[in-house]
A and B are shown apart, each in its own frame.
Chain A
Amino acid sequence: MHELSLACSIVDACAERAGEARVLRVTVEVGQLAAVLPDALRFCFDVCAQGTVLEGAELEILEIPGRAVCDECGRSIFLSSPYGVCECGGLLRIVSGTELRTKEMEIA
């Protein structure tokens, strides 16, 4: 349940910047290859936000698809798991989908 640590990191970082202001919404990017469950992150976010300026804030999650490029033939492929081999047998290099980033927040 590492989502709890991640949610607390998000809440801490936002609370630090928000100061006394109440936070209405937080937007995060979560890659589909980042080993993070969006639903678990939402649940943990609500728990971590209690008693802070983020209490009641909405967590908006932008899911980023997993994408890899073959170093042999240059083909671009969508991935649902963090590994794979290209049709040509070449090794795949992941170029997106591992993001875990707090983008912005909306404050009152």
Chain B
Amino acid sequence: MCTTCGCGSDEVRIEKTPVPDDQAHAHYHHLHHDESGAHGRIVSLEQDVLAKNQLFAERNRGWLEGRGVLAVNMMSSPGAGKTTILERTIREWGGSIPISVLEGDQATSADADRIRAAGASAVQINTGTGCHLDAHMVAHGIERLKPPRDSVLMIENVGNLVCPALFDLGERARVVVASVTEGDDKPLKYPHMFRVADLLLINKIDLLPYVQFDMERCKALAREVNPRLEILPLSGQTGDGMQDWYRWLASGRFAPAPGH
């Protein structure tokens, strides 16, 4: 249990790594307000519902950017191929820059195990019944993972095309993965997710001969929802198109941070 904010009593579990407890909270202090004792019948609040998440997100972002860590929030429906893309990315591109991974899933450490087998350090965050990662969970995950300076941090969100769209984690870039087996109208069905993304990876293009999927229609619908969205078709399985993804990541490192 976190002795600073008292969190940890709920069902979120962050995988233990061999980190001494006295170092576990080296970089983060939790957000507490001393306000109390509201008087009168009507109390004005005027507070963003996501304000607390946003504070943690900005704190994460500052810490990550200060250390030159490019944080990428990877989102998709379950089974779109996020982990497979990450495995190949670690094997093929991880030699040029250290990559570490925060793995979000409701249960099991299966994905973190796959990432470690591919050669990167990983920490699994199990959200229990939770359907998305939030910035507070990621703050704790980063404490455990300790991404090195000048590296890439991949945050693999819980497989879900709805809820993760609302929660800023402190990332620099948001990537949504959609696979050709899911249909070409995904962007219109889940517009909130596609609207907040910087990049769309259309995965499993090796299966195009076997499924009904109109690539141009999918791209057009995605751009209707989000005109600034970049789109890269690829296959995590065969490696087709992966070089474009690596080039995008490499260029993203030097792009100005949002708001700068």
Contact = CB atoms under 8 A, between A and B. Distances in A.
Nearest to A8: B10
Contact of B166 (A2, A17, A18, A105): A2
B35 interface: yes
Contact of A81 (B41, B48, B191): B191
A17 B224 contact: no
B49 A100 contact: yes
Contact of A9 (B35, B43, B53): B53
A64 interface: no
Given A2-B132, A9-B53, A91-B227, A101 B163 contact: no
Q: How large is the interface on B (under 10, 10 to 19, 20 to 34, 35 or more residues)?
A: 35 or more
A107 B43 contact: yes
Interchain residue pairs A-B with the least CB separation, the first 6: A2-B163, A35-B192, A83-B225, A100-B49, A19-B36, A102-B45
B49 A28 contact: yes
A16 B134 contact: no
B11 to A, nearest CB: 12
Given A9-B51, A102-B46, 19 more contacts: A2-B167, A5-B132, A6-B50, A6-B166, A9-B50, A9-B53, A10-B49, A14-B45, A16-B35, A21-B38, A81-B191, A100-B48, A101-B47, A101-B48, A102-B47, A104-B43, A104-B45, A105-B42, A106-B43
Contacts of B131: 1-2
Contact of B41 (A19, A91, A107): A107
Interface of A: 1-2, 5-6, 9-10, 12-14, 16-19, 21, 28, 34-36, 81-83, 85, 91, 100-107
Interface in B160-207: 162-163, 165-167, 191-192, 195
Nearest to A13: B47
B33 interface: yes
B27 interface: no
A13 B52 CA distance: 9
Contact of B49 (A1, A9, A19, A85): A9
Contacts of A16: 33, 35-36
Contacts of A2: 131-132, 162-163, 166-167
13 contacts: A1-B131, A5-B163, A14-B45, A17-B38, A17-B43, A19-B37, A21-B38, A36-B166, A83-B195, A101-B47, A102-B49, A107-B38, A107-B40
Given A17-B36, A81-B191, A91-B227, A5 B45 contact: no
Nearest to B164: A2
